[in-house]
Structure 1
Amino acid sequence: MDFNGRSILVTGASGGIGGATVRHLVSAGAAVVAAGRSEQALAALAEETGARPLVFELDSEDSVRDAIADLDLWGLVNCAGFGGEIATPMDTDLDVFDKVIRVNTRGALTATKYASRSMIRGGRGGAIVNVSSQAGLVAFDGHISYAASKAALDSITRVSALELGKHGIRVNSVNPTVVMTPIAEGHWSQPEVAEPVLRAMPLGRWATPDEVAAPITFLLSDGAAMITGITLPIDGGYTCR
């Protein structure tokens, strides 16, 4: 688990999972570039961890390209996300759907596009981890937009693993259950929503940011050198049913 100064970009670094991932990677010896939209939040994280802050707009290809095209990267964690709305297929707001896809799916692909170019240019291989969701694997009420964005991200993971493997670059997804970040808590803190899911989950509780960051760190590490193209549920056993 020693990254020996390898440079890894983490998007969504000011969020709960992103921040925890930055901390884990820094502790493991990585040179972390912590990316996001909030200069203030990233500055605080950088002061705490020593990570390099980098501000850009993930939904703008020009912004992503200008920010990371010249970086010397070995790895990438696509952690930025947008929760969208709770809606059915009958009443979904297609403008919200478009934004969810633009951030969760297109944004991750854009970061992968330019990060992988840097990784190939470096000629040292590398690893990418996409932060997906259990909602990409199983159906949940009201999650039509979010689930679509994460299922598409899982497909991007598999195709990217196929395409980038020839360059020694591994690509995997983690698919966590609910982590009580600001994205999730508005919906999942409601007992009538949470309790049926928790009853169906063998471990019966939500994940913590550290419980997602640790598997991300493993999948980036040399300990996972023969693992690519997978979607790894971190869901307390919910999807085993």
Structure 2
Amino acid sequence: MDIRFDGRRALVTGAGKGIGYELAKALAAGGAETFALSRTQADLDQLKAENPDIRTVCVDLADWAATRKAVEELGPIHLLVNNAAVLHCTTFMEIEEAEIKNTFDVNVHAVVNVSQVVAQGMIARGKGGAIVNMSSIGGRVALENVPSYCASKGAIEMLTKVMTRELGQHQIRINNVNPTVVMTAMGKKLWSDPAKSEPMMKRTPQRKFAEVKDVVHAVMFLLSDQSDMINGASLFVDGGVTAV
């Protein structure tokens, strides 16, 4: 399937590492004028060095006002991937105010903030657009030791449904991608202990975790015109975990 985005402008949040990093490169390779947003300038510099055509935006998504200003200054955006997220590894009884606030500021509030700005432009132009929110299997199934993360991804699941209901009339499509464990650098580090990874692996019918490319392919499809009638859906990239 040849997916092209020539003549379109795309924004990827959390593009400094992992999935977002590779998504920005894939969108640029597909012809989109691509904006990569991250709070870490060094990561953006590395991405820019690898692909000079990618335009970078350095801002902390937890800062509502600064984020809104930065996104407004980009101009028209036709494709948006709300990929940025933070994950704190604690038990429910260990959650502190700073953790839950930071998690929802980045994982939920920033999705609302960025999407409002982008959707406002889509509505004004009258030509629609596509938004993909990065959820997780943790938005549907309980995972131990990441309660704040799971709660935030559950919120994204319902937020996507409401966005679909309200924005569909403007031909704006909003979908979720819900990965299992993904073998990013962070994923490999967090799941390197067999005592932790093997129980999760046994829950997975395919007996493997996702690679970054698996998630990138899913997002690219949902952004493309080839998914024109897919709206308000959650695409699970999980090897069958949620099916069983």
> Would the aligned equivalents of 1:82 and 1:183 in 2 still touch at CA under 8 Å?
no
Shift of 1:185: 4.0
Match for residue 33 of structure 1? Answer: 35
Instruction: Tell me the CA shift for residue 5 of structure 1.
Output: 2.2
Runs of 4 or more, structure 1, over 4 Å off, are none
The answer to whether 1:85 aligns with 2:89 is: yes
The alpha-carbon distance between structure 1 residues 191 and 176, as it changes in their structure 2 partners (threshold 3 A), is same
Deviation by residue 1:108-141 (Cα, 9 ceiling, x = unmatched): 1111111111222222210000111111111111
2: distance between equivalents of 1:145 and 1:37?
21
What is the CA distance between 1:142 and its match in structure 2?
1.2
Q: Cα RMSD over matched residues?
A: 1.4
Which residue number corresponds to residue 43 of structure 1? 45
Partner of 1:73: 77
- 2: distance between equivalents of 1:182 and 1:234? 18
Q: 2:18 aligns with which of 9, 16, 30?
A: 16
Correspondence 1:1-241 to 2 at 5 A = 1-49=3-51, 50-70=53-73, 71-87=75-91, 89-241=92-244
CA deviation profile, 1:167-218 (whole Å, cap 9, x unmatched): 1100000000111335444432221111011011011111111110111010
Displacement after TM superposition at 1:29 (Å): 1.2
Return the letter of the residue paired with 2:138. A
Aligned equivalents of 1:163, 1:221: Cα separation in 2: 21
Q: CA deviation at 1:22?
A: 0.9
> After superposition, what is the alpha-carbon deviation per residue over 1:10-59, rounded to whole angstroms, capped at 9, x for unaligned?
00011200011112111211111111112221122123222111111211
Cα deviation per residue 1:41-85 (whole Å; 9 max; x = unaligned)? 112212322211111121112111211114111111001110112
Q: Contact 1:83–1:184 (CA<8 Å) still a contact in 2?
A: no
Q: Which moved more, 1:215-224 or 1:98-107?
A: 98-107
Unaligned 5+ runs, structure 1: none
Which TM-score applies when normalising by structure 2? 0.94
Counterpart code for 1:218: F
- Could you tell me which runs of 5 or more consecutive residues in structure 2 were left unpaired when the two chains were aligned: none
Contact persistence 2:17–2:43 (CA under 8 A): no
Q: Decide whether the 8 Å contact of 1:130 with 1:157 is kept in 2.
A: yes
The secondary structure found in structure 2 opposite 1:9 is strand
Shift of 1:239: 0.6
**Contact in 1 for aligned 2:87/2:146 (Cα 8 Å):** no
Aligned CA distance change for structure 1 residues 24 and 92 (closer, same or farther; 3 Å): same
CA contact (8 A) 1:12 1:80 kept: yes
**1:110, 1:84 → 2: CA distance?**
22
Q: Is the deviation greater in 200-209 or in 40-49?
A: 40-49
Q: Normalised by the size of structure 1, how large is the TM-score?
A: 0.95
